[in-house]
Amino acid sequence: MRRAIPVIVLALIVAACSNAEPDHSPENASEVTKALWEAARDGDLTTLANAIEQCADPFVEFEAVNGERYTAREIARARRLGELEGAKLVLADPLSLQLAEGALVKAENDWARACS
């Protein structure tokens, strides 16, 4: 019976860790996740595709120049709709921002299954 207790405790720890929610905080975001967000903001489709392929977390909310926090998809949408105009941002093509937004919808839908 004494041997069974450590095994049960270890099994509970493993189960708890595997059921933990992912950390979507910007403080713990990877460089590739930051690159994903910046690519979405700037309409950089090449960097965006590479970051998605590397399992960047599309749910992290970074602070934009207006002080508000956005996910990658939300920042692409805000830029496409002109909500951040007047800020010092890279000029982004509206079509590129729309394509980025679409790619990020798919990335959000696939992320938990493919990357966690």
- Burial of residue 41 (number of CB atoms within 10 Å: 0-12, 13-18, 19+): buried
pLDDT computed for residue 66 by the predictor: 87
Residue 77: phi, psi to the nearest 5? -65, -45
Predicted TM-score of the model (pTM): 0.77
Contact 32, 58 (CB under 8 A): no
Contact 93, 33 (CB under 8 A): no
pLDDT computed for residue 116 by the predictor: 73
Among 68, 6, 56, 9, CA closest to 29: 56
Structure tokens at 87: 């800020």
Which residues share a beta bridge with 3? none
What are the residue ranges spanned by the domains of the chain?
A: 4-115
The mean pLDDT values, 10 residues at a time, for the chain of 116 residues are 55 50 85 95 94 95 92 93 76 89 94 87
